[in-house]
Structure 1
Amino acid sequence: MNVNLSVIFGGEKYNFQSLKDVMAKANEEKSGDQLAGIAAESVQQRIAAKAVLSELLVKDIRENPLVPQENDEVSRIIEGDVNEQIYGEIKNWSIEQLREYILSNDTGDRELKRLSKGMNSEMIAAVTKLMSNLDLVHAANKVEILSTCNSTIGQKGTLSSRLQPNHPTDNIDGIIASLKEGLSYGIGDAVIGINPVDDSVESVKKVLTATKEFINEWSIPTQNCVLAHITTQMKAIKQGAPADMIFQSIAGTEIANRSFGISADLIREAEELIKKQGTGTGPNLFYFETGQGSELSAEAHMGIDQVTLESRNYGFARHFNPYIVNTVVGFIGPEYLYNNKQVIRAGLEDHFMGKMHGIPMGVDICYTNHIKADQNDIEDLSVLLTAAGVNFIIAAPMGDDIMLNYQSMSFHDVATLLQTFGKKPAPAFLAWLEKMGIYENGQLSARAGDLSIFER
């Protein structure tokens, strides 16, 4: 790499071995990077790495790929989607100049979405490392990303939600009871999405059928999804299961995707199937889920830091024009995000990077019980993400997912965020809530939480 990778800081000279080394050490503190042995060894070294990174040119990032295209289909997809004309306009900018342009008062929604088409995922990760938490909130809030399956979400001034009525035995009565409760608090305009205990085709068909019948019975402008493996969903759809979209967890390297049992070709096959036999109107028919640290846990990180790998997730995702994408920000555990500070930072990074890729970005604001975080911390993150214009968040009964055994946002939390920030559910869903008497004059009515609403 024929660029300067050293800097004198505080009277000491810091030398970095490669772009990969600079990117890793410029990252904010993450236990995953420490576990991988690539993190900055001191605050001073981190600042020095940020200084070096800030002076690199956009073209330096692209011309020194962290994962060469010949070795990785994720890299080939990301590079193949770069708009060369727009890239040509910015390739001689420094990463510092790119940051200033993104944050400028003169740079708004339309320009940021145009700019994103000329950037690859590593460029977006690089500029993320130079931003404060407030920078990430401010920049992301500029971008409005709309997506449509059966209904449209993402409009400015809205906050949508995934209703997650998981059940520890996939009991249909239990799922429907949680579904009714969530809807009665105005939750579920993004998707009614269930994580199944049983990944069998028969179980997935049963849950998809039950949720779709309920949606149809009450004419709810939303969409259903069961978060089984993509191959299980495909088999269920082929057997007539009513699925509005297809879900899959994805990663930032081809090797990590292989560990998930997926490839780009498999996703393309699923795309053809859901277009022909799915029940969603589209055009957006995919739901992808990500999370910092997944590549490290799969031993497929290639010495790359987890923020950069997460950004590559979004480059892979945007190729398939998804309806929704979300990071599960605190789910993997303290090996990757150790405490509340790291979880909050990761949530803001992921949301910003998703928006800068032009994808409809949401966050599962959550934590596991062995991480150094608590409910107050994820409530803090929910406030920051709502201010940042997050497309949707995930809610479970009482914020306690009894199937996945982790803590998330509750139905009440989402309602509180909507009220506090003066936001609304997606327009079609809000109209349905008003019709059902759950909302009145744009806010939850006295009947909110009353399940008898769903009695004929």
Structure 2
Amino acid sequence: MGYRTDINGTRFGFASLKGLLAKATPERSGDALAGIAAEGPVERIAAQVCLADVPLRDFLDDVLEQDGDAVTALIFEQHDMARFAPVAAFTVGQFRDWLLDPATTGAQIAAIAWGLTPEMVAAVSKIMRAQDLIAVAAKLEVVTRFRSTIGLRGRMSTRNQPNHPTDDSRGIALAALDGVLMGAGDAVIGVNPATDSLPDFIRICEVLEAIRTQLDIPTQHCCLGHVTTAIAAIEAGAPVDLVFQSVAGSEKANAGFGVTLPLLDEAYDAATALGRAPTGANVMYFETGQGAALSAEAHHGMDQQTIEARAYAVARRYRPLLVNTVVGFIGPEYLADGKQIIRAGLEDHFCGKLLGLPMGVDICYTNHSYADQEDMDILLTTLAAAGVNFVITVPGADDIMLNYQSLAFHDAQFIRDTLGRPPAPEFAGWMAANGIGTPEVTLPTLEAALGQLRLPAA
């Protein structure tokens, strides 16, 4: 199947839907690295014009991924033709117009989520401006629950990320308390462990459990080790709240992460069986990021934004509490600068929300990227306007273990103060009861709080 269009008398042809999607993608360094990007702005515009006329049904007939890929099979298994029916006659351009129509409500969009494939939502994002991505995402409310309720309209939650380069218990606790006393952590207090050993994983869970229970914080915690380590920790009786795993948009890329769908099924069953969450609560946490499949040479010729959207099919299989894209973490080889990071963050949030996921974003960049904290301020503010479920925050915006730049606890406070986005209601109530965010702080100082905690032995 080929696609053609004329621009000012010049004929542009695209041999496949996969190639058309790649050429229509807003400029980014990863697609250029893969050799699939448009040759320049004229070809890119031609591809976008051509893509706007593609019927959505073509995405059901033209399989972008190789036969036998587990993620491709999952996408078609998930697809609900009845839910697709309201938009089945649309082209990509008509779908964009319908999404942006003020008469189209968030409830109507949410009702078709399981009728959409990741490739459809990636396609429509490619012909949308930044304000379009914000406007549509802002219509959508995706609510999940554990001990706190995340994603309610008009609120923005945070992950408190107290990483430590040696996984020192007191170092983790100190950073976590720093965030808690700034009102950060209603989505999760989550640690990326420096190692993936089972004893360290269990100890980190115990440290986070001590903080949560001794301060009676209405939140959940997570040690972001490999899913196999989490399963082993559950079997050993560790206090595991959320089970985490990085996922990607092809079977080969997931194999690079050491995961398969059956393994994720096992993890979901283990986390649910623990009974630490209320019945029906969400117990999984997934992380994605543009460039992951390309860096693993597992993108199969797809552009990095489309294959990123395919990762969301994996995530939504497990009704997760949290999903976030680590949008600038992989480096400038994939997103070269602040402009590309901002665009990718808005795309990922839009695509995830359109597929029914509780999307968060790690608003971040590596130290060798052409980006800075002002770019992150712009992305944070636009995502807050778009209704992002949560963002990641670290002490001073500088993650001293992963060696990248994210958001500070203070940045979340900026959004609360300027845009009126309070945290989850349970957490907000706990903050109010303890005077956090007011002059009448009744919790102890950071040093005193650390001294009062009873931490597990190292």
Instruction: Give the TM-score range, shorter chain.
Output: over 0.9
User: Structure 2: how far apart are the matches of 1:267 and 1:296?
Assistant: 22
- Residue 214 (structure 1) shift: 1.5
User: Structure 1: how far apart are the matches of 2:443 and 2:27?
Assistant: 42
- The residue that corresponds to 1:163 in the other structure is 160
Alignment of 1:46-85 (within 5 A): 46-68=44-66, 70-85=67-82
Tell me which amino acid in the other structure corresponds to 1:437.
G
**Aligned pair partner of 1:268 in 265, 269, 272:** 265
**Counterpart secondary structure, 1:131:** coil
- The residue that corresponds to 2:370 in the other structure is 372
User: Structure 2: how far apart are the matches of 1:445 and 1:268?
Assistant: 47
User: For the Cα contact (< 8 Å) 1:243–1:278, is it kept in 2?
Assistant: no
- The residue that corresponds to 1:115 in the other structure is 112
User: For the Cα contact (< 8 Å) 2:434–2:442, is it kept in 1?
Assistant: no
> Comparing 243-252 with 146-155, which one deviates more in the overlay?
146-155
- The residue that corresponds to 1:177 in the other structure is 174
Aligned residues: 450
User: Structure 1: how far apart are the matches of 2:410 and 2:42?
Assistant: 43
1:21-61 deviation per Cα after TM superposition (whole angstroms, max 9, x unaligned):
10000000010000000000010000000111100101012
- Residue 447 (structure 1) shift: 7.2
- CA RMSD after TM alignment: 1.5
- Residue 277 (structure 1) shift: 2.3
Alignment of 1:8-23 (within 5 A): 8-23=6-21
1:105 and 2:102 correspond? yes
- The residue that corresponds to 1:428 in the other structure is 426
User: For the Cα contact (< 8 Å) 1:27–1:46, is it kept in 2?
Assistant: yes
User: For the Cα contact (< 8 Å) 2:118–2:306, is it kept in 1?
Assistant: yes
Tell me which amino acid in the other structure corresponds to 1:451.
L
Instruction: Give aligned-pair identity as a percent.
Output: 45
- The residue that corresponds to 2:446 in the other structure is 451
> Comparing 245-254 with 315-324, which one deviates more in the overlay?
315-324
1:390-438 deviation per Cα after TM superposition (whole angstroms, max 9, x unaligned):
0000000000000000000001111111111011010000000011110
> Comparing 213-222 with 323-332, which one deviates more in the overlay?
213-222
- Residue 316 (structure 1) shift: 1.5
- The residue that corresponds to 1:415 in the other structure is 413
User: For the Cα contact (< 8 Å) 2:363–2:407, is it kept in 1?
Assistant: yes
**Counterpart secondary structure, 1:416:** helix
**Counterpart secondary structure, 2:407:** coil
Gaps of 5+ in 1: none
- Residue 86 (structure 1) shift: 2.0
User: Structure 2: how far apart are the matches of 1:105 and 1:162?
Assistant: 32
Tell me which amino acid in the other structure corresponds to 1:270.
A
User: Structure 1: how far apart are the matches of 2:87 and 2:110?
Assistant: 14
- Residue 65 (structure 1) shift: 1.3
**Counterpart secondary structure, 1:8:** strand
User: Structure 2: how far apart are the matches of 1:116 and 1:366?
Assistant: 28
1:86-132 deviation per Cα after TM superposition (whole angstroms, max 9, x unaligned):
22332221110100001110111111101222111100111010100
- The residue that corresponds to 1:197 in the other structure is 194
1:298-320 deviation per Cα after TM superposition (whole angstroms, max 9, x unaligned):
00000000110011011111111
1:348-404 deviation per Cα after TM superposition (whole angstroms, max 9, x unaligned):
000000100101000000000101001111111101111110000000000000000
**Aligned pair partner of 2:209 in 208, 212, 222:** 212
TM-score normalised by the chain length of structure 1: 0.96
User: Structure 1: how far apart are the matches of 2:368 and 2:198?
Assistant: 33
User: For the Cα contact (< 8 Å) 1:109–1:142, is it kept in 2?
Assistant: yes
1:88 and 2:63 correspond? no
1:337 and 2:335 correspond? yes
Alignment of 1:391-406 (within 5 A): 391-406=389-404
- The residue that corresponds to 1:438 in the other structure is 436
- The residue that corresponds to 1:303 in the other structure is 301
Gaps of 5+ in 2: 453-458
Tell me which amino acid in the other structure corresponds to 2:221.
N
- 1:50 to 1:447, Cα distance in 2 relative to 1, 3 A: farther
User: For the Cα contact (< 8 Å) 2:286–2:322, is it kept in 1?
Assistant: yes
